[in-house]
Amino acid sequence: MPELRRDPIVDRWVIIAENRANRPGALVVAGHRDDSETSATGAACPFCPGNEAETPSEVFALRSDSAEPNSPGWRVRVVPNKYPALSRKPLAPNDQTTDVYRAPSETQLFSSAPAVGIHEVIIDTPRHVTTVAQLTNEELADSLAAICARLIALRRQPDLKHALVFKNIGRAAGATREHLHSQLMASHRVPPLVAEELRGAARFFEEQRQCVFCRMIDQERDEGERIVCESAAFIAICPYASRFPYEMWILPKQHASHFESIAADDLADLATLARSAIARIEPLSQPPAYNLVFHTSPFDSIAIEHYHWHMEIFPRLTIAAGFEWGSGCNVNPVSPEAAARALRAFSK
């Protein structure tokens, strides 16, 4: 059972998930990183059609036909993660609570809790493609629709408060499985960084009676120099305080706090814009390496005025080193203005 542990000095939680060390390619030990399974294709890829039995039983799928679950015929398929960093299982047979928090005390400095939650894999397409730009716009729209469907289903579960959806593309970005997929981690805790954004946005709203993201979009559109591309409903920018070279955020231009409330029309628009924007960063490294993260509001509200869902995309061209991990401050050698200029100029 994965465990959440709190640092005794700073307010920092880590998930200790020893089961995840068993993933193919999870650890580079003595140079013998096992690449065999991660680059598995066709018959050997558990995410390819025909190999449905290789994954845990599906929890959701979009199917073009009336095929049975866990059989070919799907367009997007959602399965539990085989190596979950969050688990539904209680800590011990006689422990039925979902969050046994061992708090620090006068004599006990260390505190922990079971890392309870749901960890799913969204297989974007039956085709064995490895990057977002290789999807068609329709495939990406299907994948986004499946993510929405999962968020809508999971938010009904009273013990889940938030879900983080993300994609790791390429080994340098932490992918351990080549076939394109997203991951969803839902728990009763809001992830620290999302919680910090929610606090910062609430503070701004209290002072200025405006969503800070809406203000940021206004200012970016006034200045123009950090815009990558726009569609009717979405905008892609290199954020002012980019942590990574060519970091890019995609936001709805109209205020919207929850990704899962997106209109069906907007899904197609988002897919087209996101694919075009991401296609510009993929050539930055060979093979492409980036992370994509959805930041969206907690489940305990339907719509809030101060927070604005968005995607954050981090190309992995530099390595966070001693300074970054030791200081908590990133050094970015490419200004977002230069990054946006280069990405705007990119023609597909």
Q: Kindly state the smallest distance separating residue 236's Cβ from its own copies, in Å.
A: 17
Cβ proximity to its own copies: between 14 and 92 the closer is 14
Residue 204, C-beta contacts closer than 8 angstroms, at least 6 positions apart: 210, 211, 212, 215, 306
Q: Kindly state the smallest distance separating residue 42's Cβ from its own copies, in Å.
A: 25
Q: Kindly state the smallest distance separating residue 130's Cβ from its own copies, in Å.
A: 15
Q: Kindly state the smallest distance separating residue 329's Cβ from its own copies, in Å.
A: 5
Do residues 85 and 93 touch, judged by C-beta distance below 8 A? no
| Backbone torsions φ then ψ of 79, nearest 5 degrees | -135, 155
How do strand 310-315 and strand 181-187 relate by DSSP bridges? unpaired
Cβ proximity to its own copies: between 264 and 319 the closer is 319
Task: Look up residue 307 and give its DSSP letter.
Answer: -
Q: For residues 182 and 4, give the distance between their C-alpha atoms in angstroms, rounded to a whole number.
A: 23
Q: For residues 139 and 79, give the distance between their C-alpha atoms in angstroms, rounded to a whole number.
A: 18
The C-alpha angle 145, 246, 243, rounded to 5 degrees, equals: 95
Cβ proximity to its own copies: between 184 and 270 the closer is 184
Q: Kindly state the smallest distance separating residue 126's Cβ from its own copies, in Å.
A: 22
Task: Look up residue 4 and give its DSSP letter.
Answer: E
Q: Kindly state the smallest distance separating residue 58's Cβ from its own copies, in Å.
A: 22
From the CB of residue 224, how many other CB atoms can be counted at a distance below 10 Å?
9
Cβ proximity to its own copies: between 52 and 112 the closer is 112
Q: Kindly state the smallest distance separating residue 52's Cβ from its own copies, in Å.
A: 25
Cβ proximity to its own copies: between 126 and 315 the closer is 315
Map residue 250 onto helix, strand or coil: strand
Residue 99, C-beta contacts closer than 8 angstroms, at least 6 positions apart: 113, 114, 116, 188
Cβ proximity to its own copies: between 269 and 308 the closer is 308
Do residues 311 and 336 touch, judged by C-beta distance below 8 A? no
Cβ proximity to its own copies: between 4 and 268 the closer is 4
Task: Look up residue 67 and give its DSSP letter.
Answer: P
Q: For residues 156 and 305, give the distance between their C-alpha atoms in angstroms, rounded to a whole number.
A: 21
